[in-house]
Amino acid sequence: MTDPACPQTEALLTRLLGAEDPRASSDLTAAARAHLEVCPACQRAAARAAALEERLQGFAAEIKTAERPRPFRLPAPAAPAAGPARPAEPATFSFPWALVWGPALALLAGLLAWPFLATPRPGAAGRSSVEPLTLAVATDVRVAVGAVRRLDGRPVKAGEALTGANDLFQCLGLARLQFPNGTTVALQGATFQAFPGGLVLKQGRIEVDVPKQRTVFAVTTPVAVLGIRGTRFTVQVAADGTTGIRMDSGLISVTTVRNEEYPLAAGQSATITAEGVWRPGVIAVAEPSAPAAASRPEPLPGPSATGSAAGVLLNE
Amino acid sequence: MWDDNQLVQEVLAGRTAAFQELVARYGPGAQYYFWSRCGENRETAEDLTQEAFLRAFRSLRTYQIGSSFRKWFRTICHHLAIDHAQSRRPSGPPGPPPPAVPPACPARLAVQRQIIEEALRLLTPRQREVFELKYLWDATVEEVAQTLDLPVGTVKTDLTQARRRLLEVLEEKGNL
């Protein structure tokens, strides 16, 4: 490293390498600058330091170009505004990525499937309404298997869409929902709302399977919001809102009503009490028996309003 | 050019477009931070960068005007990286060792960049922190010291040693 031709070279190089900009000699003393003007060995050392700095600046410029992050879509403007802290309330999501790309992918799937749909098949007229759901209007949440009903008693059978994001549905036994982004949700005695980007679980038990791709899905319970990607897990909500979560695979991020965030990975489980207290490794929720009370609870905000409460967890 | 505190005040006043300037200012450094610390996976780095800015946006009310946004935001990134590492900690028996060559990142295809990144791996964690703050977060030596809660002299020493190591490696590889 050092040039034996001059005993001051090492000190000068050290001084330059610790400077704000090694290409400038402003960090050197007047005597060192004077020496530098006449010493070829020290000039070589200064040239090495300058070349290194050029190289590192080029590296930094390259990183800043290559590592430019994806466009950041801001949550609702009101979220960071000055003022009192938000009261604890069930946080919710909006999903611009899912809402934009979901219909586009669904349309593409529909176009690709058109030749199969347009071809009459023997016995098709007599078949039940359970059709391949991806070939249906895939912007809707549909009942794939079983049946659910609205609180007024009107049934939604297999193959039909759950219209109305603010509508509350009940699953009296077992059923499975198909979401436009490929997510499937198995229901057991659940009272819920559904919209293309997620599900609000008021009470009961669900098993969620989110495909492992760039898909975003959310489950909202009375005391927590679960942001999910490429995951399989079970959620159970008791009448008082106590929420149990058990992870089978993948990773989720849970935001409680206390606005605390917790990761939950495969094999882990946790309970969020009715007060929003996080208890890892415990499932303390009673098995669902009957669906929620017949009286209609206060409607939760729909997907358009949900974004303003807590913003977007994962943006594109 | 507006400083960070002015931009934060703009955001708090409801002119949220100012936040995009903060994203542009610190996004690449944050993304590289996550990339280098979270398995060198580009998609993970992008997701964590988004999450970091979302956390920052949500908790901007807690930021003290007049303090260092760089330091505040880097703390968010640091905690997020720890959360990520903990959430990925295997619970069962250890899996196979990671590949010697990290997963391909389009931007890393540049040989020049790869050589410097290999050299950066030879630095101590603190030297690397100092280096990244100086070059990728555009901090002065004093700002690096403020961000890392270190004396300026210590930062200068770390910076000197980091640059010296890089100089040795790059000269050895005939890359300077």
Q: Average of pLDDT values for A52-77?
A: 79
Of A93-97, A239-243, B66-70, the range with the lowest mean pLDDT is: A93-97
Q: Is it the case that residue B172 has pLDDT exceeding 60?
A: yes
Residue B152's pLDDT band, with cuts at 50, 70 and 90, is very high
Cβ contact A25:A36 at 8 Å: yes
Q: Is it the case that residue A132 has pLDDT exceeding 70?
A: no
Q: Chain B: nearest CA to A142, how far in angstroms?
A: 29
pLDDT of residue B73: 95
pLDDT of residue B101: 39
Question: Which of B143, B167, B175 has the highest number of chain A CBs within 10 A, making it the mutation to test binding with A?
Answer: B167
What is the C-alpha to C-alpha distance for residues A243 and A241, in angstroms, rounded to an integer?
6
Q: Is it the case that residue B90 has pLDDT exceeding 70?
A: no
Condensed to tens digits (0 to 9), the pLDDT of residues B93-129 reads 544 444 443 444 444 446 778 888 888 989 999 999 9
3-state secondary structure of B74: helix
What is the C-alpha to C-alpha distance for residues A13 and B41, in angstroms, rounded to an integer?
37
Q: Chain A: nearest CA to B158, how far in angstroms?
A: 8
Residue A89's pLDDT band, with cuts at 50, 70 and 90, is very low
What is the C-alpha to C-alpha distance for residues A25 and A36, in angstroms, rounded to an integer?
9
What is the C-alpha to C-alpha distance for residues A243 and A284, in angstroms, rounded to an integer?
8
Question: Which of B40, B57, B173 has the highest number of chain A CBs within 10 A, making it the mutation to test binding with A?
Answer: B57
Of A35-39, A66-70, A287-291, B112-116, the range with the lowest mean pLDDT is: A287-291
Beta strand extents in A169-297 (DSSP E only): 169-170, 174-178, 184-195, 198-209, 217-221, 224-237, 243-256, 261-265, 269-272, 278-280
What is the C-alpha to C-alpha distance for residues B156 and A19, in angstroms, rounded to an integer?
7
Cβ contact B159:B142 at 8 Å: no
Q: Average of pLDDT values for A206-217?
A: 73
pLDDT of residue A285: 62
pLDDT of residue A166: 61
What is the C-alpha to C-alpha distance for residues A166 and A171, in angstroms, rounded to an integer?
16
Condensed to tens digits (0 to 9), the pLDDT of residues A221-254 reads 877 777 776 678 888 888 888 899 988 887 787 8
DSSP letter (8 states) at residue A229: E
Of the candidates A58, A67, A80, the beta carbon closest to that of B11 is on: A80
CB contacts, 8 Å: A65 with chain B: 28, 107
Q: Chain A: nearest CA to B24, how far in angstroms?
A: 8
Condensed to tens digits (0 to 9), the pLDDT of residues B7-26 reads 898 888 877 778 888 888 89
* Helical axes A30-38 vs A9-17, angle rounded to 10°: 120
Q: Which residue has the higher pLDDT, B68 or A197?
A: B68
Q: Is it the case that residue B88 has pLDDT exceeding 90?
A: no
Condensed to tens digits (0 to 9), the pLDDT of residues A134-184 reads 222 345 788 888 888 887 788 888 888 887 656 788 887 788 898 877 788
DSSP letter (8 states) at residue A263: E
CB contacts, 8 Å: A77 with chain B: 14, 16
CB contacts, 8 Å: A85 with chain B: 61
| pLDDT averaged over every residue in chain A | 69
Question: Which of A28, A65, A72 has the highest number of chain B CBs within 10 A, making it the mutation to test binding with B?
Answer: A72
Q: Is it the case that residue B37 has pLDDT exceeding 60?
A: yes
Question: Which of A23, A59, A248, A260 has the highest number of chain B CBs within 10 A, making it the mutation to test binding with B?
Answer: A59
* Cβ–Cβ below 8 Å for B50 and A69: yes
Condensed to tens digits (0 to 9), the pLDDT of residues B38-65 reads 888 888 898 899 999 999 988 898 899 8
pLDDT of residue A95: 44
Q: Is it the case that residue B141 has pLDDT exceeding 80?
A: yes
Q: Is it the case that residue B87 has pLDDT exceeding 60?
A: yes
* Cβ–Cβ below 8 Å for A63 and B58: no
What is the C-alpha to C-alpha distance for residues A287 and A296, in angstroms, rounded to an integer?
22
* Cβ–Cβ below 8 Å for B107 and A74: no
Cβ contact B131:B120 at 8 Å: yes
Determine the topology of domain A142-280 in CATH: Jelly Rolls (2.60.120)
pLDDT of residue A123: 37
Of the candidates B12, B87, B91, the beta carbon closest to that of A263 is on: B87
Of the candidates A55, A69, A266, the beta carbon closest to that of B46 is on: A69
* Cβ–Cβ below 8 Å for B23 and A79: no
Q: By CA distance, what is B13's nearest residue in A?
A: A81
Residue B163's pLDDT band, with cuts at 50, 70 and 90, is very high
Question: Which of B164, B169, B171, B175 has the highest number of chain A CBs within 10 A, making it the mutation to test binding with A?
Answer: B164
What is the C-alpha to C-alpha distance for residues B150 and B94, in angstroms, rounded to an integer?
36
Nearest partner of A230 among A245, A244, A249, judged by Cα: A249
Q: By CA distance, what is B86's nearest residue in A?
A: A263
Nearest partner of B47 among A232, A229, A100, A196, judged by Cα: A229
Cβ contact A271:A243 at 8 Å: yes
pLDDT of residue B123: 92
Q: Chain A: nearest CA to B26, how far in angstroms?
A: 9
Q: Average of pLDDT values for A181-198?
A: 83
DSSP A24-84: --TTS-HHHHHHHHH-HHHHHHHHHHHHHHHHHHHHHHHHHHHTPPPPPPP--TTTT-SSS
CB contacts, 8 Å: A75 with chain B: 54, 57-58
Q: Phi, psi (5° rounding) for residue A102?
A: -55, -55
- C-alpha distances in Å from residue B150, one per residue of A18, A215, B129, B143: 15, 42, 12, 10
Query: pLDDT above 90 covers what percent of chain A?
Result: 9
Cβ contact A183:A199 at 8 Å: no
Interface A:B, Cβ pairs < 8 A? 148
Q: By CA distance, what is B175's nearest residue in A?
A: A55
Condensed to tens digits (0 to 9), the pLDDT of residues A105-131 reads 655 655 554 444 433 333 333 333 332
* Cβ–Cβ below 8 Å for B163 and A56: yes
Q: Is it the case that residue B30 has pLDDT exceeding 90?
A: yes
* Cβ–Cβ below 8 Å for A265 and B84: no
Boundaries of every domain in chain A: 1-72+93-124+131-135, 142-280
Residue A3's pLDDT band, with cuts at 50, 70 and 90, is low
